[in-house]
Amino acid sequence: MACGSCCVELTSCVFEYDTPRIVLIKSTKVGLMNRVVQLMILAYVIGWVFVWEKGYQEFDSVVSSVTSKVKGIAVTNTSELGLKVWDVADYIVPAQEENAFFVMTNVIITQNQKQGLCPEFPDDTTRCKSDSDCVKGYVGTHSNGFQTGKCVAFDNSSEKTCQVFAWCPVENDTAVPKPAFLKDAENFTVLIKNNIWYPKFNFSKRNILSNVSTAYLKQCVYNRFTDPFCPIFRLGSIVSEAGQDFQDMAVTGAVMGIQIRWDCNLDRRDSYCLPRYSFRRLDNREIDHDVSPGYNFRFAKYFKGETGVEMRTFIKAYGIRFDILVFGTAGKFDIIPTMINIGSGVALLGVATYLCDFIVLHILQKRNYYREKKYKYVEDYELGPNNNYGSQP
């Protein structure tokens, strides 16, 4: 290329064509070896980089929006609450979320709490024998309120605990109902609507495919084999697909992941770009290394009592939170990665020459003969241009 000479003799540079001088060695062994190495590199570049890994494509990550709607009715019959029917407004808390929904499967309800004085729930830190065991103003990590410094009898029993100022009576969450309160939740269904967008390619698609009829959507239920594109899922199936037991999970709650993968090759037709569903448990199952296993949270329904005093129904809700995780990449032909990969491939082809040179010039018996042909030895100028350089020809 020697383009530096352009600056010196610009015209001659433009009208000159420079190409490396080549030795062509007619040798079956070396020739074959050289071609095999070149073919392997070519096969790698074309086969692996271009065909398999689509090195000619540019990629983009998904932007997603999800809505969900759960359907189902559960009936419970307990001594405390009596016969009770639970519908969507009762067991979905909060009523809507962005990329998740929570289905309450178990519950500890403390009714008619109001602010006042009452004995703490008995445990190692709250049991007392006399007032001196209770510290006025103390609030522990698991306290329900702040201690008044008195030691009083708990629930007319012989047990005594420190008195607290709290929402009274305090919650008793030691016995989690088993089997789970809303065990019928296994048969609830959820409709998931997912809209994705690849901003770089301005390509958007929905998980409700356009070749599916409303009639089908009204009655289908997702099944990995028979109905892989039905957007309606039975909660029990989601859990069992992840290799878990729903009734077991329902007792203390869990976090489940509904994964929607959108891997799209936008060089092909849109209709090949399809959602793939998979399911995974996200919370920790190793009981040994966990604090507060399962999944639960507390909330309250507030109301005014007869005298205008604020009261509440305090609810510790155990349940399954379903996180809808949408991910994926779309690829489309783009000149930049193509050229980067071609350039890289060409450079790798050059490696074939180095490799063969090494074998030819250093390993083969006839190496000195080949070396003579390839190299021209030139002594430094200081030694004089009139020297015999010992170079072939």
Q: Residues forming the annotated binding site?
A: 69-71, 189, 296-298, 316
Q: By CB under 8 A, which span of 48-56, 118-126, 242-250, 266-274 interacts with a second copy? A: 48-56
Considering only CA atoms, which of 393, 360, 359, 353 is closest in space to residue 376?
A: 393
Q: By CB under 8 A, which span of 59-67, 126-134, 155-163, 240-248 interacts with a second copy? A: 59-67
Query: What are the tokens at 18?
Result: 């420079």
Q: Which of residues 209-238 bind a second copy (CB under 8 A)?
A: 209-214, 217-218, 231-232
Applying CB under 8 A, which of residues 90, 126, 131, 240 lies at the interface with a second copy? 90
Element (H, E) at 11: helix 10-14
In angstroms, give the least distance from the CB of 255 to a second copy.
Answer: 6
354 Cβ neighbours under 8 A, 6+ residues apart: none
Applying CB under 8 A, which of residues 191, 244, 265, 274 lies at the interface with a second copy? 191
Residue closer to a second copy (CB basis): 157 or 391: 391
What is the x/- site pattern for a second copy, positions 94-113, by CB under 8 A?
xxxxxxx-x-----------
Contact status: 21 vs a second copy (CB under 8 A): yes
Contact status: 46 vs a second copy (CB under 8 A): no
Residue closer to a second copy (CB basis): 157 or 327: 327
Report the alpha-carbon distance of residue 288 to residue 290 in Å, rounded. 6
Applying CB under 8 A, which of residues 47, 136, 157, 206 lies at the interface with a second copy? 206
- Residues at the binding site for ATP are 69-71, 189, 296-298, 316
In angstroms, give the least distance from the CB of 129 to a second copy.
Answer: 24
Contact status: 288 vs a second copy (CB under 8 A): yes
Contact status: 20 vs a second copy (CB under 8 A): yes
Look at the block and give the residue holding tokens 């980067």.
340
Considering only CA atoms, which of 268, 275, 277 is closest in space to residue 201?
A: 268
Helices 28-43 and 335-358 pack at an angle, to 10 degrees, of 160
- Cβ neighbourhood burial of 247 (10 Å; 0-12, 13-18, 19+): middle
Query: What are the tokens at 163?
Result: 């008195």
CA 112 to chain centroid, in Å, comes to 42
Applying CB under 8 A, which of residues 46, 152, 176, 325 lies at the interface with a second copy? 325
CA angle 346, 347, 352 (to 5 degrees): 90
In angstroms, give the least distance from the CB of 226 to a second copy.
Answer: 18
27: helix, strand or coil: coil
Look at the block and give the residue holding tokens 């495919």.
209
Applying CB under 8 A, which of residues 91, 154, 279, 295 lies at the interface with a second copy? 295
Q: Which of residues 118-137 bind a second copy (CB under 8 A)?
A: none
Residue closer to a second copy (CB basis): 226 or 384: 384
Residue closer to a second copy (CB basis): 157 or 358: 358
In angstroms, give the least distance from the CB of 16 to a second copy.
Answer: 5
CB of 65 closer than 8 Å to CB of 194? yes
CB of 182 closer than 8 Å to CB of 235? no
